[in-house]
Amino acid sequence: MAEGAGEEKKKFSIWDLPDVPMGQLPPHLELQRSRVSCNKDAPIHTESIQYSGAYASMGIDNSSRLDLFSNNFRVEVVRLNEDDIEFDMIGIDAAIANSFRRILIAELPTMAIEKVLIANNTSIIQDEVLAHRLGLVPIRVDPRLFDYLSENDQPNEKNTIVFKLHVQCKRGSPRITVKSDALKWLPNGSELVKETRNATSDSSSKPEIYTYFGCSQETVPEFVKNPIIPKYPDIIIAKLGPGQEIELEAHAVKGIGKTHAKWSPVATAWYRMLPEVVLLEDIEDDLAEELKSKCPVNVFDIEDLGKGRRRATVARPRACTLCRECIRGDDWEKRVALRRVKDHFIFTIESTGALPPEVLFTEAVKILEDKCERVITELS
């Protein structure tokens, strides 16, 4: 007979379980709600729990409330320079973070070359390819100073910027490279004359041009000290051989990236959830050295405990890319836990140069606010 056969077996009862704490989630549920766990095969608990009554049995209201959002939401700028910004958005859902990303890419307006009037092009680049390359040159100008040009509008100083490009490679000269600094701003508008089919027109009348500027754009205070030029002067547009020439006029108008990528104000806008690296036990000596060598981005460091003992520490968790190399192998998943914080986003914006990156984000906030106001107006 088995040992202890004479003892009465204890029966398990549900009433022996501890009471569920009311008003707060058990640790394992709180971890599932607020973290994405990254196992060595695949991440789990990736969904966001939006249902207001998901935890009603434990006395927890999971509904979205404005006062909680106002108290928990914050933005912390980590890095800012002329062309890019990195900041943390804390206390929001992925849907809102993605809304900002989509607005930055597709709905913030900029000025870009839309119409190219080619007077002469003897280079090896076709007219269509040349016009496409010009359209992708970022222009350093605030689009908020201009209006949209509709089909019924005439090009004028409030909705159009005119550039001129005239470059010639003389015969017997070496090949030359045409760069974006060859685009010259014409503040008084177009200089090309429209061709008239009526040969009997009055020769004394003023020739018709492609724009109708009422005044020079140089009179605008914002352009007195900051003339309109391409953001980067060294963008290669074409290469000319001896005897080749390009003469054209380029008209820039206001648009959004949803229409064409040339109007997108960002080179890229992206976000990622904050990585969280947790050591589930003390990792010392040879195991600590092995863990440090496993990580390709140097997330871990070694702490000297004295008397020849060493212990692994998490020194740079923000640098973690969740490659999961540190949890591959025998029992490493029991020593290290990789997670992502669901409501903490590291947001990066790289501007093309039309507007500073911090201004781009504030403009995206205004657009999202306008959208919300339109929805409320339609529903009321």
Q: Are residues 84 and 177 in the same domain?
A: no
List % helix, strand, coil for the chain (3-state, nearest 5): 25, 30, 45
330, 246: one domain: no
Is residue 3, in this structure, part of any structural domain at all?
Answer: no
Does 306 reside within a domain?
A: yes
Mean pLDDT of all residues in 250-256: 97
Distance CA 21, CA 8 (A): 32
Q: What percent of the chain has pLDDT over 70?
A: 91
The verdict on 337 and 298 lying in the same domain is yes
Same structural domain, 233 and 187: yes
Do 122 and 258 lie in one domain? The reply is yes
For residue 161, what is the domain's CATH number? 2.170.120.12
Residues 117 and 257 occupy one common structural domain: yes
Q: Are residues 219 and 298 in the same domain?
A: no
Residues 57/58/60/63 CA torsion (nearest 10 deg): -30
- Give me 156's structure tokens: 């004028």
Evaluate whether residue 20 is within a structural domain. Answer: no
- Residue 352: which domain range? 29-107+263-379
Q: In whole numbers, what is the pLDDT of the chain averaged over residues?
A: 89
Say what the pLDDT of residue 144 is.
Answer: 94
The verdict on 249 and 231 lying in the same domain is yes
pLDDT over 80 (residue 175): yes
Q: Based on the domain organization, do 121 and 92 belong to the same domain? A: no
**Selection from 89, 53, 90, 91 nearest residue 69 by Cα:** 91
Q: Are residues 256 and 133 in the same domain?
A: yes
- Rounded Cα distance between 332 and 295, Å, is 13
How far is the CA of 115 from the CAs of 74, 152, 211, 261, in angstroms?
43, 16, 12, 15
Rounded-to-integer distance, Cα 10 and Cα 17, Å: 14
Q: What's the average model confidence in pLDDT over 167-187?
A: 95
Both 268 and 353 in one domain: the answer is yes
Band of residue 363 on the pLDDT scale cut at 50, 70, 90: very high
Of 229, 244, 262, the one marking the end of a domain is 262
Residues written for the chain: 380
Residue type, 229: I
Assess if residue 258 is contained within a domain. Answer: yes
Residue 241 shares a structural domain with residue 289? no
Note the pLDDT tens digit of each residue in 185-226: 999 999 988 876 655 555 566 788 889 999 999 999 999 888
Return the CATH number at 326.
3.30.1360.10
Cα separation, 164 vs 172, whole angstroms: 25
Domain count for the chain, please give it: 2
Q: Mind listing the pLDDT tens digit for each residue in 294-340?
A: 999 999 999 988 888 999 999 999 999 999 999 998 889 999 999 99
Q: What is the reported pLDDT for 23?
A: 67
- Residue-wise pLDDT for 6-21, tens only, equals 445 566 666 666 665 6
